[in-house]
Amino acid sequence: MTTSEASEQGVLEAPPPRFSLADAAEIARRVFGIDGDATALESERDQNVRIRVPDGIGFVLKISNAAEDPAVVDMQTEALRHIARTDPSVPVPRMHPSVDGEYHPRVTDDEGNTSLVRLIDFMPGRVYEAPELSLEALQGYGASAARVGRAMRGFFHPAAQQILLWDVRNGALLRPLLAYVEDADVRGVIERVLDRFDARVAPVFEQLRAQVIHGDMTNQNVLLDDRETVTGVIDFGDMSHTALVCDLASVLDSLLADRNDVYDAADAMIRGFGEVTPLEEDEVELLPAILAVRASAAVVIPSWRVIEHPEVADYITGWIQGAIGLLEYLDGDAYETTARRFREAAADVMARPSGSARGSSLPAPIPDDELLERRRRVLGSLSPLTYSTPVHLVRGEGAFMFDAEGRAYLDAYNNVPVVGHCHPRVVEAISRQAARLNTNTRYLHENVVELAERLTASMPEGLDTCVFVNSGSEANDLAWRLAIEWAGGKEEEAGGVCTAYAYHGVSTAIHAFTPEEWVEGESPANVVTVPAPDGYRGQHRREEPGWADAYAAHLDEAFGELRERGRRPAMVLMDTGFTSDGVPAPPPEYLQGIVRRTREAGALFVADEVQAGFGRLGTLWGFEAAGIVPDVVTLGKPMGNGHPVAALVTRREVIERFQREREFFSTFGGNPVACAAAAAVLDEIAAPGFRERAEQIATLLHRRLDEIAARRPAIGEVRGLGAMLAIELVERSAAAAKGVLARARERGLVLLSCGLDGNVIRLLPPLSATDDELQRGLAILEEALGDASPE
Ligand SMILES: Cc1ncc(COP(=O)(O)O)c(C=O)c1O
């Protein structure tokens, strides 16, 4: 046992000093020059005496436990003086020096024991029991705890290295004291808490943001007035240099016990704390495990002390029951629920990772002209730029991107930044994993398994197997290879179908399924196209009954054509948002008719969710919105919110058929960093309110676009699937649409045009966009539409 531990045990075991009240009043007068009446205050280990004075709120004379380390008393003194300098508005007691200018002189009792004595302000307010406090009060409480920590950020004292049993860092020291806990079940719970601490917390504890903290922000040490505003934070006796988040844990430990609304209360305190001191992801991740250790200490330490000192039983055993109740939320399956709720509570008050801070540490951008010239020299014409005067982007945040001159562009271009640019949760997940390990999937790693579990769990039964790749193209390419094997394994005998102006990717095989990129007269032998279900201008119109199925029936013709070419229908590949085809937004019957016909022909239906997936259409997957179950699903783009990660999900039998003859390996597919990014995106989409927000965005955009269309005759149709909106210009002119895009860009909105005639303008803002941001974008669009003539 170390000296500090021994000293702490000494303090906990040694009885508090026992000066009479008359002696205390005399000390106040003689040592500090304060004349007043003395009354006793409660204290666990010191002797605290209130000194009332005729004017003013008075003082507290704190006579330290004889076993107290003078260095620790000095630390408390210096910490309070530090706070008084750095943030005088933080309600902590002021220190008053003795008449000799000392902050903690010595006094001796009748038996010759000497103690250090301090005079501090008496703090107004009172102690509240946890269930008494409103959620607003708890939020303010959390904020006060954070303010104390913030005021102490630059403080240090050698005694802060003291080893305290209450400090979560020393969780392992609780184990030898476990024998004092009578109830075997409770002992079992605490053992599990300590096991989790050893496995998950201890290895990374020293990486957490650390400083000297208060260490004991319990309701006994925080005073509030009648309006439940914090008026005083007292008792700095448990300070140590440790993880900052331990202060939040002590707040939660103290104030969740005995409450019925544990999650709402935690939410309030976490938010309150995070609003003052934004939380880091590691802190949020470990908070429940740290809290569990703290709650365990609240059971173990009193259980031990009660046996040694039965006289203090009443004072401390009260804590135990509350702490045991809290431990139930942190044991077994309940732990994950609590962890999730904490993550949700912290989502809005997370620190931005330093790497994504507003570019302060980034080199200054190169001037556009120079960069353009250098780019031309090395990138060539296969890497074209959007807009004739290119946009030079340097930063993204939420729905916006910013150029080198700081101009903001609302991004409604595509579904990639689905949860908003540089979303802190995603950036943090990527940077954390990148700092730890990145490698291929042929080693065991949690990230890839957990992501696959989450993806398959989100899909209909049977879609139970994932393969990870790096891009939508690769996912579709693999889908085609699976389809060939499914159809007998002979590539020259297999055929596929896609829509007339689809885009599915860049590989040679998938170029054949990408008529958008075909040159005049190009017609791959293995692919036949069907018209996109365009009910506005196509062969079958919305007003005709059964028009959607009439479109689906074209698939039979396409299969017939393939057979004539000596090919067996192997794959029907469709983007469930039909984005390149101009977002024709067919009713569900269209894809239902397609899937039915595909099955009848023995082919695989591949839902390309690269554009529509991850919440865009109001459902997590676009195929859900159409009420179909695909054979294969391909994912990409929004999957990592911009980080390259893509996947294919299918039935086990489809993979097994392929694997009889073939192997597949992707070096970067499913790497731990990519999977961390995708998991963070899924977390964000699963967060409460996200789906509802997608619906609100869809409704707002649709309504406002209808209004704009009523004023702008250039608009022929407004349509959409969920929050994937499109307007088609009356004029079949790609140049007219490009003109709108250019004018919108000038005004700070980036968009994309698409469709067979290039006259459809797509709007896919991040699903994190606020109403104000959307309104701003719509106003720009309306202006940019002008008369929608070519630029
Ligand atoms: C529907 C669809 N599928 C697949 C792809 C190809 O994805 P990637 O560019 O990641 O290869 C795209 C890209 O735009 C797409 O829109």
Q: Which residues is 279 bridged to in the sheet? A: 350
Interior/surface letters 314-342, b for 16+ CB within 10 angstroms, e for the rest: eebeebbebbbebbebbbeeebeebbebb
CA dihedral (461, 467, 473, 478) positive or negative? negative
353 vs 98, 228, 260, 435, CA distance in Å? 46, 34, 35, 13
Instruction: Assess whether the C-beta atom of 472 lies below 6 angstroms from ligand 1.
Output: yes
> What local confidence, expressed as pLDDT, does residue 13 receive?
57
Instruction: Assess whether the C-beta atom of 499 lies below 6 angstroms from ligand 1.
Output: no
Query: Splitting the chain (791 residues) into consecutive groups of 10 residues, what average pLDDT does each group show?
Result: 41 75 95 95 87 91 91 95 92 95 92 92 94 96 97 94 94 94 94 92 92 96 96 94 98 93 96 96 94 96 83 72 91 88 90 51 78 91 88 91 87 95 90 92 95 98 98 98 97 98 98 97 97 97 96 98 98 98 98 98 98 96 97 98 98 97 95 97 92 94 97 95 97 96 95 97 95 92 78 48
Instruction: Assess whether the C-beta atom of 764 lies below 6 angstroms from ligand 1.
Output: no
Cα of 503 vs centre of ligand 1, distance in Å, is 7
Instruction: Assess whether the C-beta atom of 471 lies below 6 angstroms from ligand 1.
Output: yes
DSSP conformational letter for 762: E
Instruction: Assess whether the C-beta atom of 608 lies below 6 angstroms from ligand 1.
Output: yes
Residue 138 is inside which H or E element, if any?
A: helix 135-151
State pLDDT tens for residues 509-529.
Answer: 999 999 999 999 999 999 999
Instruction: Assess whether the C-beta atom of 616 lies below 6 angstroms from ligand 1.
Output: no
Instruction: Assess whether the C-beta atom of 496 lies below 6 angstroms from ligand 1.
Output: no
> What local confidence, expressed as pLDDT, does residue 296 receive?
96
* 3-state SS, one letter per residue, for 523-535: CCCCEEEECCCCC
CB distance 423 to 640 below 8 Å: no
Cα of 610 vs centre of ligand 1, distance in Å, is 6
CB distance 617 to 577 below 8 Å: yes
Instruction: Assess whether the C-beta atom of 254 lies below 6 angstroms from ligand 1.
Output: no
> What local confidence, expressed as pLDDT, does residue 664 receive?
95
- Residue tagged 């499914």 (tokens): 486
Q: Are strands 114-121 and 95-96 parallel, antiparallel or unpaired?
A: antiparallel
3-class secondary structure, 760: strand
Ligand 1, atom nearest to 637 Cα: 10
Ligand 1, atom nearest to 644 Cα: 10
Instruction: Assess whether the C-beta atom of 610 lies below 6 angstroms from ligand 1.
Output: yes
- Residue tagged 């353009």 (tokens): 372
d(CA 117, CA 428): 47
Spell out the residues 6+ positions from residue 126 whose beta carbon is closer than 8 angstroms to its own.
223, 224, 225
Q: Are strands 465-469 and 494-499 parallel, antiparallel or unpaired?
A: unpaired
Nearest alpha-carbon partner for 295 in 275, 267, 270, 324: 324
Cα of 763 vs centre of ligand 1, distance in Å, is 17
d(CA 76, CA 81): 9
Ordered alpha helix ranges (H), 364-442: 368-379, 424-434
> What local confidence, expressed as pLDDT, does residue 316 receive?
66
DSSP conformational letter for 350: B
The pair of three-digit structure tokens given for residue 729, joined into one six-digit string:
């210009």
The beta strand positions in 596-750, using DSSP E, are 604-608, 632-635, 646-650, 715-721, 724-729, 749-750
- The contacts found for 306-312 with CB under 8 angstroms, 24 or more apart, are 307/180, 308/13, 309/13, 312/44
Instruction: Assess whether the C-beta atom of 640 lies below 6 angstroms from ligand 1.
Output: no
The pair of three-digit structure tokens given for residue 507, joined into one six-digit string:
């590989």
DSSP conformational letter for 442: T
Instruction: Assess whether the C-beta atom of 611 lies below 6 angstroms from ligand 1.
Output: yes
Instruction: Assess whether the C-beta atom of 147 lies below 6 angstroms from ligand 1.
Output: no
Cα of 720 vs centre of ligand 1, distance in Å, is 19
Residue of 637, 641, 648 best suited for mutating to test ligand 1, as the one with most atoms within 8 Å of CB: 637
d(CA 649, CA 714): 42
Cα of 584 vs centre of ligand 1, distance in Å, is 18
Residue of 468, 508, 611 best suited for mutating to test ligand 1, as the one with most atoms within 8 Å of CB: 611
d(CA 535, CA 586): 7
Ligand 1, atom nearest to 506 Cα: 11
Q: Are strands 749-750 and 724-729 parallel, antiparallel or unpaired?
A: unpaired
d(CA 583, CA 610): 14
Nearest alpha-carbon partner for 237 in 382, 105, 72, 126: 72
3-class secondary structure, 660: coil
Cα of 504 vs centre of ligand 1, distance in Å, is 5
Question: Considering only CA atoms, which residue is closest to atom 3 of ligand 1?
Answer: 504
Helical axes 262-276 vs 135-151, angle rounded to 10°: 30
Cα of 646 vs centre of ligand 1, distance in Å, is 10
| Other Cβ atoms closer than 10 A to 716 | 16
Q: What are phi and psi of 313, to 5 degrees?
A: -55, -50
Ligand 1, atom nearest to 472 Cα: 7
> What local confidence, expressed as pLDDT, does residue 361 receive?
47
> What local confidence, expressed as pLDDT, does residue 36 receive?
95
d(CA 701, CA 724): 9
Question: Considering only CA atoms, which residue is closest to atom 8 of ligand 1?
Answer: 472
Ordered alpha helix ranges (H), 492-621: 508-511, 547-552, 554-564, 588-600
Nearest alpha-carbon partner for 238 in 210, 217, 211, 269: 217
DSSP conformational letter for 208: S
Residue 322 is inside which H or E element, if any?
A: helix 313-328
Residue of 473, 480, 516 best suited for mutating to test ligand 1, as the one with most atoms within 8 Å of CB: 473
> What local confidence, expressed as pLDDT, does residue 8 receive?
47
d(CA 296, CA 329): 12
Interior/surface letters 401-417, b for 16+ CB within 10 angstroms, e for the rest: bbbbeeebbbbbbbbbb
Instruction: Assess whether the C-beta atom of 501 lies below 6 angstroms from ligand 1.
Output: no
d(CA 677, CA 684): 11
Question: Considering only CA atoms, which residue is closest to atom 15 of ligand 1?
Answer: 504
Instruction: Assess whether the C-beta atom of 515 lies below 6 angstroms from ligand 1.
Output: no
Cα of 780 vs centre of ligand 1, distance in Å, is 28
Cα of 754 vs centre of ligand 1, distance in Å, is 14
Cα of 505 vs centre of ligand 1, distance in Å, is 5
Nearest alpha-carbon partner for 62 in 30, 99, 102, 19: 19
Residue 701 is inside which H or E element, if any?
A: helix 690-711
Angle at CA of residue 637, ends 636 and 640, nearest 5°:
85
Cα of 575 vs centre of ligand 1, distance in Å, is 9
> What local confidence, expressed as pLDDT, does residue 788 receive?
55
d(CA 148, CA 134): 21
Ligand 1, atom nearest to 612 Cα: 1
Residue of 386, 468, 480, 504 best suited for mutating to test ligand 1, as the one with most atoms within 8 Å of CB: 504
Instruction: Assess whether the C-beta atom of 581 lies below 6 angstroms from ligand 1.
Output: no
Instruction: Assess whether the C-beta atom of 636 lies below 6 angstroms from ligand 1.
Output: yes
Nearest alpha-carbon partner for 535 in 715, 697, 713, 728: 728
Spell out the residues 6+ positions from residue 387 whose beta carbon is closer than 8 angstroms to its own.
741, 742, 745
Ligand 1, atom nearest to 575 Cα: 1
State pLDDT tens for residues 442-479.
Answer: 999 999 999 999 999 999 999 999 999 999 999 999 99
Instruction: Assess whether the C-beta atom of 720 lies below 6 angstroms from ligand 1.
Output: no
Question: Considering only CA atoms, which residue is closest to atom 12 of ligand 1?
Answer: 504
Helical axes 70-86 vs 135-151, angle rounded to 10°: 100
CA dihedral (348, 639, 574, 632) positive or negative? negative
Instruction: Assess whether the C-beta atom of 579 lies below 6 angstroms from ligand 1.
Output: yes
d(CA 503, CA 203): 47
- Residue tagged 């609590």 (tokens): 338
User: Side chain identity at 500, as an amino acid letter?
Assistant: A
CB distance 673 to 434 below 8 Å: yes
Q: Are strands 37-41 and 47-52 parallel, antiparallel or unpaired?
A: antiparallel
| Burial environment of residue 236 by CB neighbours within 10 A (0 to 12, 13 to 18, 19 or more) | buried
- Residue tagged 């939020």 (tokens): 139
Instruction: Assess whether the C-beta atom of 477 lies below 6 angstroms from ligand 1.
Output: no
User: How far, rounded to the nearest angstrom, does the alpha carbon of residue 673 sit from its chain's CA centroid?
Assistant: 15
Instruction: Assess whether the C-beta atom of 503 lies below 6 angstroms from ligand 1.
Output: yes
User: How far, rounded to the nearest angstrom, does the alpha carbon of residue 745 sit from its chain's CA centroid?
Assistant: 31
User: How far, rounded to the nearest angstrom, does the alpha carbon of residue 668 sit from its chain's CA centroid?
Assistant: 24
Spell out the residues 6+ positions from residue 95 whose beta carbon is closer than 8 angstroms to its own.
77, 80, 81, 84, 103, 118, 119, 120
The backbone region for 359, taken as left when phi is positive above 0, alpha when psi lies in -120 to 50, beta otherwise, is left
Instruction: Assess whether the C-beta atom of 650 lies below 6 angstroms from ligand 1.
Output: no
Instruction: Assess whether the C-beta atom of 470 lies below 6 angstroms from ligand 1.
Output: no
d(CA 97, CA 480): 81
The pair of three-digit structure tokens given for residue 544, joined into one six-digit string:
């005709």
Q: Which residues is 126 bridged to in the sheet? A: 224
Instruction: Assess whether the C-beta atom of 724 lies below 6 angstroms from ligand 1.
Output: no
Cα of 628 vs centre of ligand 1, distance in Å, is 21
DSSP conformational letter for 631: S
Nearest alpha-carbon partner for 504 in 594, 608, 583: 608
